[in-house]
Structure formats: C-alpha cells, structure tokens
C-alpha cells in the first residue's frame, strides 16, 4: 500500500493495525496478546508465552497447527516433565530452550521441563507500534523475556517481530544475553508448526537436505519425509534429523507446499546460527501436524548433549542474535 492510497480509506486500521488484547474465557483466560493485521496477513503473538505467534492466517485461511487443548494461558503444568504436553499449543511457532529442548529431565538437581522454560515465560517491556517509513507501513512488536532462577542462570531474550503492509513476510529477530556470572547452556529450537488446510494429503515438504536420519537410527532413512499422507487413527509420530545445504552466507530454508490450495509456508533461517533442522511429522488423526524446527541441538535433552559433547553455551555477558523469516508463498 502506498501513502497515496490513504485517500481511499478513513483509518489506516482498515488495512493494518497492532492491537493489545486479553482473552476472557476458557483456558486462555487472562492471557495478554498482540493481534496484528497487515493486509492479507493476520497473526497473534502471546505476551504471556514468550511473544510466540500462536495464530497465523493468510487471506482468512489458517496456516498453523493448534493442538487439542486450544489456546491457553500459562498453566501449573508448563514445567512438569512430560505433563508439559498439556500446555503445548503449537501455533505458528513456539520457542524451545534455552535450558532444555525435547526430553524432560525430572530427576535433575534443577528439573528441566519438556522443551525448556522459555516458551512459558511472560514478556515485559512490551511495545506494539505501527508507523510509516517513506511509503512503507511497518507493524512492530517487541518485548523481553527473562529466564532466571535463584542459584541458576539469568538469560534474557529480547525479541522483535516485524512486518510491512503488503508484504507476505514476518521477520523475527531474537537477541539472547547471559546476564549471570557463569557459563550457561544455550539450547535453542524454533518449533514451527504447519496445520490444516495448508497441511493435507499430498502436501510437499521442501528441505534442501543432504543427509536425513530418523531419530533413534544412525543411517540414512528410507521413510518418506518429503510428502504428507492423509490422517490415520493412532499413527505414531516420526522425527527426522536433517543436515541441509546453505548459500555462501549460511542462509537456508524449510517449506511446506500445498499445490491444490495454491499456498506454501517457508521458514528462512541461517545455518551458522541454527546448524540443525529437525522435522516432526505427525499424521495421527486429531494430531495432524508438521513441525519444521531449525535448531542448534537435538531433541534428546540437556544430559544427552553433555554426554555427546555437543552442548552449546553462553559465556557470562555473551550475546547471540538469531533471525527467522516466515514467508507465505502463493503458487
């Protein structure tokens, strides 16, 4: 949209807005969020859950997976081992880490929840803004999440989510800083989730993989990770680990394409920041989902990373920046 087109409307909110809102009933009751409309794109970022994007649609079509409990606020079982599955909503993405990714460790000195603590950490210093830069109308959300405990770590995540009216891209910029006085684990996975109607029988999974291993195996898998089948009652989930090609700058992607629908969702990321790609494929009825998960670790828990000498860390005072882009593709 150009500024000259403002003559055709009353309020710019007819085309784009950032709104601060709060849910009033059900499991989501009390959850604060930002709702963003930007032309054909609409999404909701949950302030009480790491500013993760919990809903995402394009031209009225939902593109993300939402788990059976639906939207919900922070719950007492967020950090209770495998019980944390009851609070995982899916959404366009949720942030896993930085203390743990994947398998919970309930026997540890400091118990580590499934997929870590960040995803249930509320934001502070939040801000929603919408403004012109030349002929571009920008919509921006920012906030800060602090993952900290007495006699433990103190990691701050400063997140910015931004899009431009008329664009099909959402840009996520995350800055992690270790504000404690000791080295701490830095496990990170972005659990990006496609769902129906984008995800359906025949949907193609596009990952520039050079090597693919099924979780629990040590050799190249023969299972079909490249295409989605129809839902099947009780079908077990599958998890694949990919090593991918990237360009000279380390930029790469993962995507799901539905040719029948004429739409695709592409996740752009940098392989130098997130050197692993985990793919979660669930064709089970009622849990029909695809996870495209750029990460710097596996989903086997912190102890496994330590034992395999692969655990990434942040030194005291160290900062790391990680960026993602979500792009809607029209075929």
The confidence score (pLDDT) of residue 107 equals: 62
The confidence score (pLDDT) of residue 76 equals: 67
In the predicted model, what is the mean pLDDT of residues 292-320?
96
Q: Which residue has the tokens 């009390």?
A: 30
The confidence score (pLDDT) of residue 16 equals: 97
In the predicted model, what is the mean pLDDT of residues 269-282?
98
Q: Distances from the Cα of 95 to the Cαs of 53, 61, 188, 252, in angstroms?
A: 10, 23, 8, 19
Beta bridge partners of 219: none
Q: Which residue has the higher pLDDT, 220 or 50?
A: 50
Q: Model confidence at 276, in pLDDT bands (50, 70, 90)? A: very high
Token pair listed for 130: 């919408």
Residue 118 Rama label (left phi>0; alpha psi -120 to 50; beta): alpha
Token pair listed for 322: 């990680």
Most confident of 111-115, 155-159, 219-223: 155-159
In the predicted model, what is the mean pLDDT of residues 318-328?
98
Cα-atom radius of gyration of the chain, to the nearest Å?
Answer: 20
Q: Distances from the Cα of 291 to the Cαs of 105, 191, 196, 266, in angstroms?
A: 22, 6, 13, 12
Please spell the DSSP secondary structure of 143-186, one letter per residue.
Answer: EEEEEE-TTS-EEEEEEEEEEETT-SEEEEEEEEEE-SSS-EE-
The confidence score (pLDDT) of residue 205 equals: 98
Q: Nearest Cα to 49, choosing from 101, 105, 112, 126?
A: 126
In the predicted model, what is the mean pLDDT of residues 152-172?
96
Q: Nearest Cα to 180, choosing from 213, 147, 209?
A: 147
The confidence score (pLDDT) of residue 209 equals: 97
Q: Which residue has the tokens 């882009």?
A: 325
Q: Nearest Cα to 45, choosing from 68, 77, 27, 18?
A: 18
The confidence score (pLDDT) of residue 42 equals: 98
Considering only 6-10, 37-41, 219-223, which range has the smallest mean pLDDT?
219-223
What pTM, to 2 d.p., does this model score? 0.96
Q: Nearest Cα to 277, choosing from 204, 175, 189?
A: 189
Give the Cα separation of 219 and 214 in Å (integer).
Answer: 8
Q: Nearest Cα to 157, choosing from 126, 183, 133?
A: 126
Looking at every residue in the chain, the average pLDDT score rounds to: 94
In the predicted model, what is the mean pLDDT of residues 125-152?
95
Give the Cα separation of 232 and 248 in Å (integer).
Answer: 41
Give the Cα separation of 304 and 281 in Å (integer).
Answer: 22
Contact 101, 293 (CB under 8 A): no
The confidence score (pLDDT) of residue 152 equals: 85
Q: Which residue has the tokens 């019980």?
A: 83
In the predicted model, what is the mean pLDDT of residues 204-211?
97
Q: Which domain holds residue 127?
A: 3-330
The confidence score (pLDDT) of residue 109 equals: 65
Q: Which residue has the tokens 């040590």?
A: 218
> Looking at residue 105, what DSSP letter applies?
B
Degrees (nearest 5) of the Cα angle 22, 24, 30? 60
In the predicted model, what is the mean pLDDT of residues 109-125?
87
State how many domains the chain has. 1
In the predicted model, what is the mean pLDDT of residues 129-144?
96
Half-sphere exposure of 268 (CA within 13 A, CB side): 16
In the predicted model, what is the mean pLDDT of residues 259-272?
98
In the predicted model, what is the mean pLDDT of residues 298-313?
94
Tens of pLDDT, residue by residue over 23-61, are 999 999 999 999 999 999 999 999 999 999 999 999 999
| CATH number of residue 166's parent domain | 2.70.98.10
Please spell the DSSP secondary structure of 194-242, one letter per residue.
Answer: E-TTTS-TTPEEE--EEEEEETT-SSB--S--SB----BTTPPPEEEEE
Q: Nearest Cα to 282, choosing from 232, 216, 226?
A: 232
Q: Which residue has the higher pLDDT, 180 or 3?
A: 180
User: Over 80: is that where the pLDDT of 254 sits?
Assistant: yes
Report the share of the chain in percent with pLDDT over 70: 97
User: Over 70: is that where the pLDDT of 147 sits?
Assistant: yes
The confidence score (pLDDT) of residue 151 equals: 87
In the predicted model, what is the mean pLDDT of residues 62-76?
90
């Amino acid at each position: 949209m150009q500024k000259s087109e403002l003559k055709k409307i009353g309020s710019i909110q007819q085309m784009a807005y950032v709104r601060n809102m709060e849910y009033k009933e059900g499991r989501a009751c009390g959850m604060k969020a930002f709702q963003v409309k930007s032309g054909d794109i609409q999404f909701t970022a949950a302030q009480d859950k790491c500013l993760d994007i919990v809903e995402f649609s394009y031209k009225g079509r939902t593109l993300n997976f939402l788990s059976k409990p639906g939207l919900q606020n922070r719950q007492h079982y967020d950090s209770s081992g495998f019980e944390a599955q009851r609070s995982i909503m899916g959404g366009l993405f949720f942030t896993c880490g930085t203390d743990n990714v994947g398998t919970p460790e309930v026997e540890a000195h400091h118990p580590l929840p499934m997929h870590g603590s960040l995803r249930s950490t509320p934001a502070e210093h939040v801000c929603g803004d919408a403004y012109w830069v030349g002929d571009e109308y920008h919509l921006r959300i920012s906030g800060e999440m602090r993952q900290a405990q007495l006699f433990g770590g103190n990691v701050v995540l400063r997140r910015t989510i931004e899009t431009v009216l008329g664009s099909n891209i959402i840009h996520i910029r995350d800055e992690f800083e270790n504000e404690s006085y000791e080295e701490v684990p830095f496990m990170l996975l972005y659990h990006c989730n496609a769902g129906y109607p984008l995800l359906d029988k025949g949907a193609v999974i596009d990952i520039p993989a050079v090597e693919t291993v099924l979780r629990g195996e040590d050799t190249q898998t023969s299972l079909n990770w490249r295409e989605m089948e129809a839902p099947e009652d009780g079908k077990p989930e599958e998890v694949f680990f990919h090593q991918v090609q990237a360009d000279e700058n380390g930029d790469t992607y993962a995507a799901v394409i539905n040719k029948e629908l004429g739409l695709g969702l592409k996740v752009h990321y940098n392989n130098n920041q997130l050197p692993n790609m985990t793919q979660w494929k669930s064709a089970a009825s009622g849990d029909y989902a695809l996870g495209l998960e750029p990460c710097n670790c596996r989903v086997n828990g912190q102890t496994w990373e330590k034992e395999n000498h692969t655990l990434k860390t942040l030194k005291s005072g160290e900062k790391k920046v990680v960026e993602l882009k979500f792009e809607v593709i029209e075929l």
